[in-house]
């Protein structure tokens, strides 16, 4: 079974332009502005209604293992970026349980 390829940026822009009756240039500007806004607002959490939420989370310090040597190492605490999928998106894509 061959995996389906994801849409390219050009295909997304073309689709949005056709659906909204705008130009590809306007659709490209919209996508780029949405992405820039999400980067700027992610520290406070950024929600795209119906799709999900972009949040910054703090990971705790933890023990790990060096796969090459098997030695136990301490992995330091750090901030990570997570995207939490909205329930509506899960239900639409996976079906309701």
16-67 per-position pLDDT tens digit: 999 999 999 999 999 999 999 999 999 999 999 999 999 999 999 999 999 9
Cα 88 to Cα 93: distance, rounded to the nearest angstrom: 9
**Span 63-76, average pLDDT:** 93
pLDDT at 2 over 60: no
CATH superfamily, with its number, for domain 45-97? IHF-like DNA-binding proteins (4.10.520.10)
Query: Phi, psi (5° rounding) for residue 77?
Result: -65, 150
Sign of CA dihedral 67, 70, 76, 82: positive
Strand partners, 75: 62
* pLDDT number for residue 3: 64
Strand partners, 63: 74
* pLDDT number for residue 19: 95
Report whether 64 contacts 29 (CB < 8 A). Answer: no
Model confidence, pTM: 0.74
């Amino acid at each position: 079974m061959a995996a389906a390829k994801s849409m390219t940026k050009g295909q997304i822009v073309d689709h949005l332009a056709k659906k909204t009756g705008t130009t590809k240039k306007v659709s490209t500007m919209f996508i780029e502005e949405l992405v820039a806004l999400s980067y700027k607002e992610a520290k406070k959490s950024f929600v795209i209604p119906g799709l999900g939420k972009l949040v910054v989370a703090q990971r705790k310090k933890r023990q790990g293992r060096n796969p090459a040597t098997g030695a136990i190492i301490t992995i330091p605490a750090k901030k990570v970026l997570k995207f939490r999928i909205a329930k509506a998106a899960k239900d639409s894509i996976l079906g309701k349980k």
